[in-house]
Amino acid sequence: MGIVSRKEREKEEMRQLILGAALKLFREKGYDGVSIRNIAEAIEYSPATIYLYYKDKSEIFFALQYEAAAVKRDHIMPVVEIENPWERLVEFGRRYIDFGMKHPDLYDLLFITLTPMESMENQECWKLGIATHSFFVETVQACVDARYFKSTDTETIAYTLWCHAHGLVSLFVRERMRMYPEEKREELARKSFAMIVKMAENL
């Protein structure tokens, strides 16, 4: 273990230090509410130092987006163990929504925040998201193959279910449920999930 490897390790530690501080601050104040100077202050370095590890603010954002995608994967992926495709699909939906409710900031990062155009090239993150999405579509396909639905339009079924789940979470995350009393919102979300499952049963 030479000096170069120690240097690399230290460099990686510094990147994690920056990312950790950034995530904490982004959670509290949102992407636009946090400045490079804030992050620098949190880790007790000068603002210019940040630029030695990340080329600009958006690159910090993308690094976090990647981590968010990983958290989401870990939150949802246990469902691969479920062999029955219908049960797997329902549990996938439940966990997708649960992830969004438990990590609104990460969900926001992944599915709501408008990202600069470079995000396309951010292959690491994109690949992770595509993988989870593909698994979801494959599960729907498995349901179709097993004749769980009358319809055989896998793509539209998957998209429709995703629309519901995403709509549910994002109305929550972006606080568009103020017409419902706070303590009823989660219950309403649960009931709605149960309802879409019932609707999907005779789809």
For position 4 contacting its own copies by CB under 8 A, the verdict is no
Binding mask 142-161 for its own copies (x = CB under 8 A): ---------x-x-xxx-xx-
Amino acid (one-letter) located at 113: T
For position 30 contacting its own copies by CB under 8 A, the verdict is yes
CA nearest 59: which of 40, 76, 36, 78?
A: 36
Six-digit token pair at 32? 């636009």
Residue of 52, 131, 146, 163 that binds its own copies (CB under 8 A): 163
Angle (CA) 160 174 97, round 5°: 45
Q: From CA 193, how far away is CA 120, in angstroms rounded? A: 31
Q: From CA 18, how far away is CA 46, in angstroms rounded? A: 12
Size of the site for its own copies (CB under 8 A): 40
Six-digit token pair at 68? 């968010």
Using CB under 7 A, which residues numbered 7 to 66 contact DNA? 7, 10-11, 14, 34-38, 45-49, 51-52, 55-58
Rank residues 58 and 119 by Cβ distance to DNA and give the closer one: 58
Residues binding DNA (CB under 7 A): 2-4, 6-7, 10-11, 14, 34-38, 45-49, 51-52, 55-58
